[in-house]
Structure 1
């Protein structure tokens, strides 16, 4: 894993590492909106760095599919069409379903206990928002991320946690974490986790696929408004 799973200690972070994390977060949270042109002088001034580390950070952002370069247009934040966004959910449905099945077979008991503790934390956080907001921080604090990691399949991890992860987070933030699905999504997560704990891979896959399919249909309804 490169993008999210890096667990670098603060002392070992390079300037490019720090700027990569900061710009990535700004893009995902919408501070730098989809389609925005990336201005190297502006970003260099904003983060107080030279152009060298910034260019290295931008190259890494290209590798995570958050930034794209086009001839004569320079670098821009990726902007997906509605169809492209929904395609990501179709891919996630298939691949995360597979990841859930593998996780039921391969996750250690300690990892499953960590997953259950994470959901307890999420439940407390959702309760504090009166069951209206379900915000997940990235990486190990993200339910889906933990399950993909638990699959033990490196190629699957690369696809879901490097190629698609930040794109999915960006649009999740764009549509907002506040949703009438917050309580339902949490319940769906718990059902998946329980199936994994019971080592029922077939059920875990079916539940995960249903969960992501339901999320996709909710987004489709919002796009049609």
Structure 2
């Protein structure tokens, strides 16, 4: 029994150390590939991804995903327990299943783990969420999220999605385009942003109306105050 406990303890310690190192590396290195990309590529979908820094993605895109998925992104430390509780109550009442995951949780899952997997994956996801919230900035979390999230069949990130759906890069997204892309995120294989059906159109309009609140209420302040400061520093140095 002692040897078994010792082995389990060593296994847990090794996982904790290796996962921490992995997260630290990705704080400044672009994730080269994810398990979702690999599994979809094996299924024949290919990988269409083009990385852009957050500064080179129209700020309306971050506003859109905050409006759609995580209005407390700048305030929480990875987990929005109020949203989780509300989602649990909604799901218990029946009807359409609603998730309570934050952008940080989705970033952890998309970057380091796999889709589906039940409670085991959720437990590991929680650990990686804790790590990125403490080892990355909110700026980095959003940057990685917007570059690796699945946005179509074999399409990853908003740059590839913008070129695929709208035929221009992600630096020049309109409010409606950003809102419709955000509406696609939860079910990227079944939804499309350029010819949206009823739900995506309606949900996109809702997101678009919420984006004004995100900007007005400063719900994006943890992202764009940093970017504005960088731009001012560059201007002052010229």
**TM interval, short-chain normalised:** under 0.3
Q: When the two structures are superposed, what TM-score results if normalisation uses the length of structure 2?
A: 0.26
Q: When the two structures are superposed, what TM-score results if normalisation uses the length of structure 1?
A: 0.27
